[in-house]
Chain A
Amino acid sequence: MNLPSRKQLSPMRDFIVSRGVSGAVSLLLVTFLVFVGTALLPGDTASALLGQNATPEALAALRRDLGLDQPLLLRYLGWFAHAVRGDFGTSLASGRAVSEVLLPRLGNSLLLASVAAVFLLPVAVGGGIAAAIWQDSWFDRLLGFTSMLFLAMPAFLVGYILIYVFAVRMGWFPSMSVAPFFGGAAAWINILALPVISLVIIGQAHTMKLTRTAILAVLATDYVLMAEVKGISRRRIILRHALPNALSAILSISILTVAYLIVDVVVIEMVFSYPGLGKLMVDSVSYRDLTVVQACGLLFALIFIGMNFLADFLALLVNPRQREPARGA
C-alpha cells in the first residue's frame, strides 16, 4: 500500500490555506482600489463639507485637520497600519469612530438580507425543483418566462414599481423604509416588507434557473436512466436519487445567492432609503468620507469572499469524492 504524502492526507487543510491566502490578497486589492477610486473622484471631503461656502483658507485649514494634505500612498499606508489592528479610524465627515457609524448599519443590512434569504431560498429552490419535475410543462415555461422577466429588469425599477403599487396606490406599506417613528419591533415588519419583496423578486430568477439546471444535469446520468428503465416514477427519481446528488450544487447556489443578495441590497437600500450599509457607502462617497467608504468596501468584500469560500467549502464537505485524496493514481 502506498503511503499518501502529507499533502494528500489533508486536502481540506490545503484548501483552507490556499483559499485563505487568495482571499486575503483579494481583500487587500479591494481596499487599495476603493481607496484610490474614491480619491480619484473630483473634490474631497473638505470641498464636499464646505460646498459653495469654501474659501481657500477654510479649505486649507480643513484639509490640514483631516490629514488630506498628505500624499495618497502615505494616507493609504497609514490607514492600512491601523486597519490591521482593527482600528478603522474616524469618519472624516462627522469625526465619530467608523465602527460606531458602521455597526448599526451593518446590523440593518444583515437583517434585511437574512429576512430576504429566508423567503427567497425556499421559493427559488422549491421552484427550481418543481420546474425540473414538470420539465417542459406549462408550469415550467411560465416559471421560466417570469424569472427571465425579473432577471432582465433593473433592481431599482422593481423597487419603484412596488412603491407605486403598494405604497402610493394601495397605501399598505411606507415608501421610505426608515426605522419606524417611535415604533417597536412589530413596526419593523411594515418597514421591511417592500425591500424584502423586491429582493426576493430580483434574486429568485438566478437561483431557480441554477437549481433546475443542476437537477436536470443529474437526471441526464446513466443511473437515472437505469432507474427509469426499472419503472420508478419521475417524482421519486428526483426526490430520492437526483436531489441528494444535486445537493452540493444547490448548496453552493444558495450561498452564492446570499452573496448576490448583499450586492442587491445596496441598490434596494437606496430606492427605499433603508438605513443600511449600502446606503451608508453611497452617502459617504458623496461626502468623500474615505474612511467610512473604505470600511464599507472592506465589509462588502469580506462578506462576498467569505460566502464564496463557504460555498466551496461546503461543496467539498458534502461531496465525499472531493474530500478523499485521489486513489489509484
Chain B
Amino acid sequence: MDHRTGMSRRQFIASTAALGLFAATARAFAQSAPKKGGTLAIGIEGASTGDTLDPRTFNSPYWSVAAGTIFNTLVEVQGPANELKPGLAKSWEGSNGGKTWVFDLVDNATFHNSKPVTTADVIYSLQIHNAEDSRSNSRAIAAGIASMTADGFKLTVELTEGNYFFPAMLSNYPLCIIPEGTTTFDGVGSGPYKIARFSPGEVLELTRHDGYFKTDAAWVDQVVILAANDPAARASAFQSGQIHIASMLDTRTAELIKTLPGKALVTLSSSQFVGFNMRADMAPFDNADLRMAMKLAIDREDVLKRVYGGMGRIGNDTPIPPNDPLFAAGIPQNSYNPEKAAELFKKSGFTGPLQLHTSDAATVPAVDMAALFKEHAAKAGIEIEIIRDPADGYWSNVWAQAPFHATVWGARPTADMILTTAYSSASPGNDTHWANADFDAAIAAARGAPDEAKRLEIYAQAQALLSSDGGVIIPVFGDVVEGVATMVQGYVPGTQPVGNYRAAEQVWFA
C-alpha cells in the first residue's frame, strides 16, 4: 500500500502500528478523551442460525468477537506483535521447564449475575473443553493440563509437558470464563457487556455490565454484533453508516471505501494465510526437487500486487509471517526464479501437467492465486492444470487429500500452535503429510526452552527445514482489511479481527 499520498492520520497510525513502531498501549490511538455513551454496531462474518452460547462451539470470527465482548479470558493479546496483556489473570509465572504455571487472578471481577469470579469458575471453564463430547477448537490446549489447584485467587496449573506458550494459548477465545457448573449456556460471563437479546445467525444486542472489573474500559452504552456473512452486505452496511466496524472487507474494493467521508481502513497483519499444499507422502510431490521447483516457480511479488492489491507481506513457505517476533529473518528466502525452477523440475524427472485443485472454499484469493501461479510456472516450462472444485464439501473431499491443492489456515494464538497443528508429522491437521523428525524434535524442544533466545534459534532451524523441504507454498500473508468509522476512537488494531476481539471495550465515540 502506498502511504506517501493522501494518508489520513488513522492510516498513518494504523500502518506505523503494523510496523511495530507503536508499542500498542490501549490508548495509543486516542484522538479525543474517552467518554461514555452511544451504541456501537459491528458487522462480522461467521454467524449461523445454528449458533449456541456454549463456548466449546465457538469457532468463527463472529464468535471470537462475541466472546471478546461477553466474556474474559485469563490472558489477552493486543497489538500487531501479539503482546500478552492481563485478562482475569493479573500476572503469571512459569517454572519447572514450563510445566508449572501460577496465575494470580483479579479479586474484583464479577459475572453478569453479580456473583464474583473465583478460581473454581476458571477451573470449570477450562475443564469443560476436554470433556468427552467436546468439539472445542481448544480441546488440545485443555488436554495438555494435568491438574489445577487453587489457593485463594492463586491458580496453579500443572501441564503434562513443558510449554512456554501456555499463557498465550489461554487467550484463545473459546477458553473464556463462565460460572462454575454452567450446563445451560445462557451467555453469563464476566465481560464488559451482557446479553440483552440473542437471535442466532442474526444479531446479538448487549448492554454494559456495570460491575465490570476493568475501570478504564467499556465506554459505549450498548453494543450490537450483526451477523453479516456476505462481504458485499458488510461493505454496504459500513458505507451507509449502519455499522461502525466492518470486518474483513474485500481488499479489491477496500480502496474505494477509503475515499468516502467518515470512513477509514485498518490493515491487520494477520498470520492467516492461503497457500498451496503439495502432498509430500505421495507421487509426484514425494520428490523434494519438484517441491522446491514449485516454490521457485511462483512470483510472490506479483501475487502480492495482483491478488492482494499490495496489502500483505511476502511469505517464505512457513506459517510465520515477517512481522511475527519468531520470524526467521536469517534463512534463505524462496523467490521467483524460472531458470532454477526449470532446472529442478527437469532434475525431478517428472513430466507432464500438474493438476492444482482450488476452490472458493479456500477463499477467493486461492482461486485468483492459482490462475497467476499457472502463468508464472509456464515461464519455467511447468504446466499447471487448474481444477476448480465446488465450495461444498471441499474440506471433506479435496483438502489434505488431493496431491496438489489450495489450503487456508486462520491465525492461531501462537506460532507454536500453527507449526504443531499443521506441520508436525503426528498431527491430524498435517495437510501436506510432510513428516520430518528433525522438525518435530525442534518444535518440541522450543516449547520447553525457558530461554527466549534459545527458542528463537530453534524456531529458525524449524522454519529453515519447512521452507527448504516442506510441502506447503505460502507466497503471501494477505493483510486483513477492516473498516472503522472515524467517529470511533481508541481502536487498537491487532493481528485478530475487531481489535483482537475486544474493540467493544476499547472504543468510544468522538
Contact B390 A283 (CB under 8 A): no
A41 in contact with B228 given A171-B240, A181-B39 (CB within 8 Å): no
Bound: A49/B60 CA distance, A: 11
Which residues of B, 180-206, contact A by the 8 Å Cβ criterion? Answer: 196, 199-203, 205
Bound: A52/B405 CA distance, A: 14
With beta carbons under 8 angstroms apart, the residue of A41, A93, A94, A160 that contacts B392 is A41
Which B residues lie within 8 Å of A95 (CB)?
52
Contact B135 A62 (CB under 8 A): yes
With beta carbons under 8 angstroms apart, the residue of A61, A91, A164, A181 that contacts B224 is A181
Closest chain B residue, CB of each to CB of A42: B393
Count contacts on B: residues with CB < 8 A to the other chain.
Answer: 45
Which A residues lie within 8 Å of B428 (CB)?
55-56
Instruction: Report how many A-B pairs have Cβ atoms within 8 Å.
Output: 122
Task: Assess whether B114 is interfacial by the CB under 8 Å rule.
Answer: no
Which A residues lie within 8 Å of B200 (CB)?
94, 101
Task: Kindly specify which of A76-84, A127-135, A284-292 makes contact with the partner chain.
Answer: A284-292
Closest chain B residue, CB of each to CB of A41: B392
A174 in contact with B393 given A181-B203, A182-B39, A182-B222 (CB within 8 Å): no
Task: Assess whether B151 is interfacial by the CB under 8 Å rule.
Answer: no
Which B residues lie within 8 Å of A52 (CB)?
395, 399, 408-409, 429
Contact B49 A94 (CB under 8 A): yes
Chain B 479-497 per-residue mask, 1 if CB under 8 angstroms from chain A, else 0: 0000000000000000000
Task: Assess whether A53 is interfacial by the CB under 8 Å rule.
Answer: yes
A179 in contact with B59 given A163-B236, A273-B227 (CB within 8 Å): no
Which residues of A, 275-323, contact B by the 8 Å Cβ criterion? Answer: 275, 280, 283-284, 286-287, 289, 292
Bound: A50/B50 CA distance, A: 13
Contact A181 B205 (CB under 8 A): yes
Contact B135 A178 (CB under 8 A): no
Task: Assess whether B396 is interfacial by the CB under 8 Å rule.
Answer: yes
Bound: A176/B231 CA distance, A: 12
Contact A54 B199 (CB under 8 A): no
With beta carbons under 8 angstroms apart, the residue of B135, B233, B397 that contacts A176 is B233
A179 in contact with B50 given A54-B395, A55-B428 (CB within 8 Å): no
Task: Assess whether B337 is interfacial by the CB under 8 Å rule.
Answer: no
- Distance (Å) between the CB of B442 and the closest chain A CB? 24
Task: Assess whether B237 is interfacial by the CB under 8 Å rule.
Answer: yes
Task: Assess whether A47 is interfacial by the CB under 8 Å rule.
Answer: yes
Chain A 207-230 per-residue mask, 1 if CB under 8 angstroms from chain B, else 0: 000000000000000000000000
Question: Which residues of A are interface residues toward B (Cβ below 8 A)?
Answer: 41-43, 47, 49-56, 58, 61-62, 65, 91-95, 101, 104, 160, 163-164, 167-168, 171, 174-176, 178-179, 181-182, 273, 275, 280, 283-284, 286-287, 289, 292
Those 3 A-B pairs whose CB atoms lie nearest each other, nearest first:
A93-B50, A42-B393, A43-B393
7 contacting pairs across A/B (C-beta < 8 A): A43-B393, A43-B395, A101-B49, A168-B236, A168-B240, A175-B240, A287-B49
